[in-house]
Amino acid sequence: MSLFNSIIFGPIKSRRLGSSLGVNLMPDTGKVCTFDCIYCECGYNKDNKGGKIPSKEIVLHEMEEKFRELSEKGEKLDVITFAGNGEPTLHPDFAEIIDQTIKYRDKYFPHAKISVLSNSTKIDDPSVFGALEKVDNNILKLDSVFPETVSIMDKPVSKSFDIKKVIDDLKRFNGNVIIQTMFLRGEHNGQKVDNTTEKEVNGLLEAYKEIKPKQVMIYSLDRPTPEKNLQKVSREELDIIADKIRNEGFDVVVG
């Protein structure tokens, strides 16, 4: 498993987003997340506990320094991506950081897009929702519509987590959202998991129809996972699922 050991990292070549400068709003020494996904490249929450969330001031200082450095070198930047060691929207100043990032982007890299990779658990917070409305790529997770599958794959930390409520909140973006779905199969703690079945895919399709996202991103395992009994879904299978989604009128990207 691997953690991001800095606030700003990259630029790296993202398989879905292009030349991407990463922003990690969580501790650089541990993971903080509202999910404990069995496929997370950062490992399980319990294995990477600890660390201090960086202040807004430190984040913005390091961000502008990096923007200035890249600009002076004449480097190209396609996207500024908020991701890293956990859930970025957990930062207490997330909305203010997004506002300032937009200003820096407009100054240094006006053609770059701002992306946020989020697990959708904080979109009921008005400040988080408002901030996500402002970014170019509001990329939110939806791995399954079935609570039993979500509980195995994503392992929500909160006992009050309700996938139906999340879907209702996703609908509030009125299409200004990109849905990202991880497909996998395998076993965790003796429980089988497979969100590629006809039931699972049809359930996701119905949710996509309700949410009306501007794009759907689907992908499978690409990095080491904390649960070892997982299987990557082949590109051929992903393409079949993608075609089924496209047939419903959606723009689909296969990662």
* Residue 234: both structure tokens together: 């082949």
Helix (H) or strand (E) holding 246, with range, is helix 235-246
Say if residue 1's pLDDT is above 70.
no
Helix (H) or strand (E) holding 245, with range, is helix 235-246
Instruction: For residues 218 and 215, give the distance between their C-alpha atoms in angstroms, rounded to a whole number.
Output: 10
Note whether 143 and 153 are within 8 A (CB): yes
Mean pLDDT throughout 87-116?
A: 98
Is the preceding peptide bond at 54 cis, omega within 30 degrees of 0? Answer: no
Note whether 17 and 81 are within 8 A (CB): yes
Taking Cα atoms as reference points, which of 70, 32, 38 lies closest to residue 155? Answer: 38
- Phi/psi of residue 212, nearest 5 degrees: 60, 50
Domains and CATH numbers, the chain: 8-254 (3.20.20.70)
Say if residue 17's pLDDT is above 80.
no
pTM of the entire structure? Answer: 0.95
Instruction: For residues 98 and 29, give the distance between their C-alpha atoms in angstroms, rounded to a whole number.
Output: 23
**CA neighbours within 13 Å on the CB side: how many for 160?**
2
In tens, the pLDDT along 126-154 reads: 999 999 999 999 999 999 999 999 999 99
pLDDT band at 3 (very low <50, low <70, confident <90, very high): confident
In tens, the pLDDT along 230-250 reads: 999 999 999 999 999 999 999
In tens, the pLDDT along 44-97 reads: 998 877 689 999 999 999 999 999 999 999 998 999 999 999 999 999 999 999
Say if residue 18's pLDDT is above 80.
no
Kindly report the average pLDDT of the chain as a whole number: 95
Q: How far is CA 18 from the centre of its chain?
A: 15
* Residue 191: both structure tokens together: 């429980």
- H helices present in 48-186, as ranges: 56-73, 94-108, 126-134, 147-153, 163-171
Other Cβ atoms closer than 10 A to 67:
21
Taking Cα atoms as reference points, which of 226, 84, 213 lies closest to residue 155? Answer: 226
Coil, helix or strand for 99? Answer: helix
Instruction: For residues 62 and 54, give the distance between their C-alpha atoms in angstroms, rounded to a whole number.
Output: 11
* Residue 233: both structure tokens together: 């879904």
